[in-house]
Amino acid sequence: MKIDKNTINKIARLSRIKLDDKESEDYIKDLNSILDWVEQLNEVNTDNVEPLSNISSSILPKREDVSNDTNSSEEILENAPDKLEGFFAVPKVVE
Q: Which of 65, 83, 66 is nearest to 74 (CA)?
A: 83
Q: Which amino acid is at 95?
A: E
Neighbour-count burial of 39, counting CB atoms closer than 10 A to its CB (0-12 exposed, 13-18 middle, 19+ buried)? exposed
Residues from 63 through 82 that contact another protein (CB under 8 A): 63, 70, 75-76, 78-82
- Please name every residue paired with 88 in a beta bridge, in sequence order, or none if there are none: 83
Residues from 38 through 57 that contact another protein (CB under 8 A): 38, 40-44, 46, 49-57
- Chain contacts with another protein (rule: CB under 8 A): 3, 7-8, 10-12, 14-19, 23, 27, 30-31, 33-35, 37-38, 40-44, 46, 49-58, 60-61, 63, 70, 75-76, 78-82, 88, 90-91, 93
